[in-house]
Amino acid sequence: VPLLSGVGGPDTAATLRLARQAEDAGADGLLVVSPYYSRPPQAAVEAYVLRVAESTGLPLMVYDIPGRTGVRIEPETLLRLAEHPRVVAVKDCSYDLLGATKVLARTSLAYYSGCEELNLPLYAVGGAGYVSTVANVAPRQVRAPLDAFDAGRTDEAARLNGLTARLVELMMASGLPGTVTAKELLDAGP
């Protein structure tokens, strides 16, 4: 299993140091989140990712999580970033299936869902899979819709994806730690 080291922050120099440390420590690749807090324009996001790509020999997965960073990495920016040989993948938490489809159609990027509710729809249009937080507590439930889809059971895949979406909704809305919520939902006992 390849190990990606998450790097990023509001400071490019600190991000470059983290990237070097990850490479020196033996990471197989970097998960690069866009600069957060400052809400930079797309040109600055692009320059930032390219600086990281030029500073390392490792492949990069660009992490688009606008709900946490305050800035979306627009599809047009991803299209330009895809031209760099070390930018090889995207973890998309933007909830923009149309934008993802555009990038998938025009690049060779491995495109991963970062939103469990969209794992199946993104996979169905050519996504590579998912990078999931919820799978840490419910791995089979998160994987099941894709397995059903691969087996040609699309109705079952859709039903299971709905259950995954409900699991995410309950975990996010409950205010409880994820493991406690998951235990309750999965009938894991007292």
Tens of pLDDT along 131-184?
998 898 899 999 999 999 999 999 999 999 999 999 988 888 865 555 555 555
Please state, in angstroms and as integers, the Cα–Cα distance from residue 83 to each residue in 9, 50, 92, 153, 166, following that order. Answer: 23, 10, 18, 36, 37
The band of 185, judged by pLDDT with boundaries at 50, 70 and 90, is low
Please state which CATH number belongs to domain 4-131.
3.20.20.70
* 65 has a pLDDT exceeding 90: yes
User: In the chain, where are the structural domains located?
Assistant: 4-131, 134-190
**CA–CA dist 130, 115 (Å, integer):** 8
The band of 41, judged by pLDDT with boundaries at 50, 70 and 90, is very high
Alpha helices in the chain (DSSP H): 12-24, 42-55, 66-69, 75-81, 97-106, 119-124, 139-150, 154-173, 178-185
Question: What is the strand order of the sheet 129-130 is part of?
Answer: 4-7, 29-33, 60-64, 87-92, 110-113, 129-130
Cβ-contact 91, 31 below 8 angstroms: yes
Q: No. of H helices and E strands in the chain?
A: 9, 6
Q: What's residue 137's pLDDT? A: 86
**CA–CA dist 3, 8 (Å, integer):** 16
Q: Decide: pTM greater than 0.75.
A: yes
The band of 189, judged by pLDDT with boundaries at 50, 70 and 90, is very low
Tokens 């998960």 belong to 31
**CA–CA dist 57, 128 (Å, integer):** 23
Catalytic residues: 63, 91
**CA–CA dist 52, 6 (Å, integer):** 12
Cβ-contact 70, 121 below 8 angstroms: no
